[in-house]
């Protein structure tokens, strides 16, 4: 009898496979902690130990895929050690990819996984609602957004699920399994947890203050009433449970002393901060456009161009007005330091500086700058890039594509009959549909794609490394799935569609021409019946 014909051996292998999957999850949880907090040696050590254990289990229990991934993660961590504990962009990209692949192996039977920009650890969301049918319908709607939601029909089912696997979040009806019982149940399962699970409460009826106070005391971070909308729920869950890919801060170091630049570089790299060094300040503007740093460190005194002069040059460009500039110099004259700060600088650090002080200053400044930039370049309703920044990203992508001889597609999308949505259902419903499509696009497009709200109900997508036909396939699938979403309304639930137009970069086509071509393709999609995606290059002149 062969191995596959022996049921008992298969069951045994399945049992051991669960132990391997459990260990894989341990790695993913350590990885997420590293991303949430700072990259440090203790976390690295924990990640190495968990990876070695996974490799040992995978070898012992004949789990080939886990073995390969554990070896890959181990190789990356060894490369970090060989690099004196410093990270670089290649290593971070490799680790992100391996962690995403590892997350896919750790799914329970019945879980779904799609290649989206969701967090690498694909935990489910538990829905504990008084009416099972409502919970199942909501789970289906969340599934359209690529989220795995599990409807539970009783308090025992909920407790069993919690014992088997902790979810990404819990939506709990205050009256689940009895009047007010949901509040007590949620509080009980949370009380012994070191790391609390995001908890959202729901009541079909509007509730009084004591109930809401009890929800807060039970650990509730959100309270929904009335009709539950999948997109609004998912938006809150993403905020409360979001663990994004590790995106290290990027710092451009401009210093004519290679030894000092190397010292600064090593200190920051050891803390998981990516750096790029310029010894010749005259190249700074080209490097800024290419590297797009979160922060710039400038030496005060350089032969070709001193730090204050370079700061002025940088500040002349609107794109870099908000990028923090830190002077790092041996200059200890306070008046000269203050003069330098008035010339476009944000901080002044004196050499020699302790690595801990340098790292803390860079982190704090870069974090605030990212926050400020997000407010400047993003649309307030959707969180997508605004019109101006989307066009800037298109221009950057166009220049890179032409330089590297790579394809580039630009798409424009428009929600069909949107005026009727506002007229018949009101502007709040219109906003909900816009936010829903924004969320849908964010989750189903790649991290490398840039999504913008072009204006009103119109969206734009910059797709580097993508030809028009591939872009069409991707957007057409998104179009089909988006049409399946239902928005609770009276007298009938609402569903919406969108139309799209795509243009592909050809030769030395300008960004303006690309937008015009995509707009023309969108126009044809609208006049061709709507709810469709057209490609400009396929069309003959009208």
Residue 196 DSSP class: P
Pairing assessment for the beta strands 450-455 and 498-504 based on DSSP bridges: unpaired
> Can you give the pLDDT at residue 473?
93
Tokens of 155: 């308090």
96 contacts 246 by C-beta, under 8 angstroms: yes
393 contacts 299 by C-beta, under 8 angstroms: no
> What gap in Å lies between CA 222 and CA 209, rounded to an integer?
14
Segment 292-307, tens digit of pLDDT:
899 999 888 887 778 7
> Can you give the pLDDT at residue 2?
44
The confidence band for 96, taking pLDDT boundaries of 50, 70 and 90, is confident
> Can you give the pLDDT at residue 95?
84
Q: Extract the runs of DSSP E, i.e. beta strands, from 65-168.
A: 125-128, 149-151
> What gap in Å lies between CA 220 and CA 209, rounded to an integer?
14
> Can you give the pLDDT at residue 306?
81
The confidence band for 540, taking pLDDT boundaries of 50, 70 and 90, is very low
Question: Does 525 score more than 50 pLDDT?
Answer: yes
The confidence band for 253, taking pLDDT boundaries of 50, 70 and 90, is very high
Q: What percent of the chain has pLDDT over 90?
A: 28
Average pLDDT over all residues of the chain? 82
> Can you give the pLDDT at residue 111?
32
How buried is residue 305: exposed, middle or buried, by Cβ count under 10 Å (0-12/13-18/19+)?
middle
382: helix, coil or strand? coil
Tokens of 367: 């974090």
Q: Report cis status (omega within 30 of 0) of the bond before 491.
A: yes
Q: Which of 215-229, 266-280, 506-520 has the highest mean pLDDT?
A: 506-520
Residue bearing tokens 């710092």: 251
> Can you give the pLDDT at residue 318?
79
> Can you give the pLDDT at residue 490?
79
Pick the closest to residue 69 from 108, 129, 34, 23 (CA basis). 23
Tell me the domains of the chain and their CATH numbers: 3-105 (1.20.120), 125-241 (3.40.50.2300), 250-377 (3.40.50.2300), 387-538 (3.30.70.270)
The confidence band for 419, taking pLDDT boundaries of 50, 70 and 90, is very high
Q: Indicate if the alpha-carbon torsion angle 28, 29, 30, 34 is positive or negative.
A: positive
Which range (99-108, 204-213, 308-317) has the least confidence?
99-108
pTM, two decimals, is 0.58
Pairing assessment for the beta strands 498-504 and 408-415 based on DSSP bridges: antiparallel
Tokens of 277: 């060094």
Pick the closest to residue 463 from 398, 381, 512, 419 (CA basis). 398
Q: Which residue has the higher pLDDT, 190 or 2?
A: 190
CA 320 to chain centre: 23
In this prediction, residues 149-167 reach a mean pLDDT of 89
Q: Which residue has the higher pLDDT, 39 or 126?
A: 126
> What gap in Å lies between CA 354 and CA 236, rounded to an integer?
40
> Can you give the pLDDT at residue 246?
55
Instruction: Give the count of beta carbons closer than 10 Å to the beta carbon of residue 178.
Output: 11
The confidence band for 37, taking pLDDT boundaries of 50, 70 and 90, is low
Tokens of 286: 């080209």
How buried is residue 349: exposed, middle or buried, by Cβ count under 10 Å (0-12/13-18/19+)?
middle
In this prediction, residues 394-409 reach a mean pLDDT of 92
> Can you give the pLDDT at residue 121?
38
> What gap in Å lies between CA 212 and CA 225, rounded to an integer?
11
> Can you give the pLDDT at residue 415?
95
267 contacts 355 by C-beta, under 8 angstroms: yes
CA 366 to chain centre: 18
Which range (11-20, 143-152, 400-409, 533-542) has the least confidence?
11-20
Q: Indicate if the alpha-carbon torsion angle 379, 382, 387, 388 is positive or negative.
A: positive
Q: Which residue has the higher pLDDT, 231 or 252?
A: 252
In this prediction, residues 403-422 reach a mean pLDDT of 94
> Can you give the pLDDT at residue 4?
46
Question: Does 128 score more than 90 pLDDT?
Answer: yes
Which range (190-194, 203-207, 528-532) has the least confidence?
190-194
The confidence band for 119, taking pLDDT boundaries of 50, 70 and 90, is very low
- Show which residues are catalytic: 457
Q: Which residue has the higher pLDDT, 151 or 448?
A: 151
Q: Cα dist. 421→426, 433, 497, 522 in Å?
A: 7, 9, 11, 20
In SS3 terms, 471-511 reads as HHHHHHHHHHHHCCCCECCCCCCECCCEEEEEEECCCCCCH
Q: What percent of the chain has pLDDT over 70?
A: 89
289 contacts 296 by C-beta, under 8 angstroms: no
CA angle (398, 399, 405) in 5-degree steps: 85
Q: Indicate if the alpha-carbon torsion angle 227, 191, 27, 273 is positive or negative.
A: positive
> Can you give the pLDDT at residue 244?
43
Tokens of 250: 């990027």
> Can you give the pLDDT at residue 107?
40
128 contacts 173 by C-beta, under 8 angstroms: yes
In this prediction, residues 67-80 reach a mean pLDDT of 90
> What gap in Å lies between CA 409 and CA 509, rounded to an integer?
12
Segment 313-322, tens digit of pLDDT:
888 887 888 8
């Amino acid at each position: 009898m062969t191995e596959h014909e022996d049921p008992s051996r298969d069951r045994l292998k399945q049992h051991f496979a669960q132990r391997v999957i459990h260990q894989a999850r341990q790695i993913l949880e350590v990885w997420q902690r590293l991303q949430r907090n700072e990259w440090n040696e203790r976390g690295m050590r924990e990640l190495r130990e968990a990876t070695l254990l996974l490799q040992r289990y995978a070898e012992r229990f004949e789990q080939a895929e886990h073995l390969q991934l554990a070896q890959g993660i181990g190789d990356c961590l060894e490369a970090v050690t060989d690099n004196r504990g410093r990270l670089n962009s290649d290593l971070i990209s490799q680790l992100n990819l391996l962690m995403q692949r590892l997350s896919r192996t750790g799914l329970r039977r019945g879980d779904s996984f799609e290649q989206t920009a969701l967090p690498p650890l694909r935990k489910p969301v538990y829905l504990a609602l008084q009416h099972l049918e409502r919970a199942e319908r909501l789970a289906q709607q969340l599934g359209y957004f690529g989220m795995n939601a599990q409807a539970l029909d009783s308090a025992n089912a909920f407790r069993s699920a919690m014992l088997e696997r902790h979810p990404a979040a819990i939506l709990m009806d205050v009256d689940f399994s009895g009047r007010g019982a949901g509040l007590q149940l949620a509080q009980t399962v949370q009380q012994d947890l070191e790391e609390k699970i995001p908890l959202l409460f729901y009541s079909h009826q509007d509730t009084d203050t004591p109930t809401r106070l009890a929800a807060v005391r039970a650990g509730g971070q959100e309270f929904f009433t009335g009709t539950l909308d999948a997109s609004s729920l998912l938006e809150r869950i993403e905020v409360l449970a979001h663990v994004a890919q590790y995106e290290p801060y990027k710092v451009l170091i401009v210093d004519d002393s290679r030894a000092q630049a190397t010292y600064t570089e090593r200190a920051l790299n050891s803390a998981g901060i990516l750096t790029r060094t310029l010894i010749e300040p005259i190249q700074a503007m080209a490097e800024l456009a290419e590297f797009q740093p979160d922060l710039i460190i400038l030496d005060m005194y350089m032969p070709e161009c001193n730090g204050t002069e370079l700061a002025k040059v940088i500040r002349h460009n609107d794109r870099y007005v908000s990028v923090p500039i830190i002077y790092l110099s041996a200059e200890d004259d306070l008046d000269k330091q203050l003069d330098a700060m008035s010339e476009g600088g944000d901080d002044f650090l004196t050499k020699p500086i302790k690595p801990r002080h340098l790292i803390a200053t860079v982190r704090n400044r870069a974090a605030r700058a990212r926050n400020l930039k997000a407010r400047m370049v993003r649309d307030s309703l959707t969180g997508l890039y605004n019109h101006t920044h989307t066009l800037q990203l298109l221009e950057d992508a166009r220049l890179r594509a032409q330089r590297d001889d790579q394809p580039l597609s630009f798409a424009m999308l428009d929600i069909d009959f949107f005026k009727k949505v506002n007229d018949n259902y009101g502007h709040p419903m219109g906003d909900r549909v816009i936010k829903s499509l924004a969320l849908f696009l964010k989750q189903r497009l790649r991290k490398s794609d840039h999504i913008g709200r072009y204006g009103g109900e119109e969206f734009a997508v910059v797709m580097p490394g993508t030809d028009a036909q591939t872009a069409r396939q991707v957007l057409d699938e998104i179009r089909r799935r988006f049409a399946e979403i239902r928005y609770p309304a009276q007298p009938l639930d609402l569903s919406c569609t969108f139309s799209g137009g795509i243009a592909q970069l050809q030769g030395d086509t300008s960004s303006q021409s690309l937008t015009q071509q995509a707009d023309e393709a969108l126009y044809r999609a609208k006049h061709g019946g709507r709810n469709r995606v057209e490609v400009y290059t396929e069309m003959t002149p009208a």
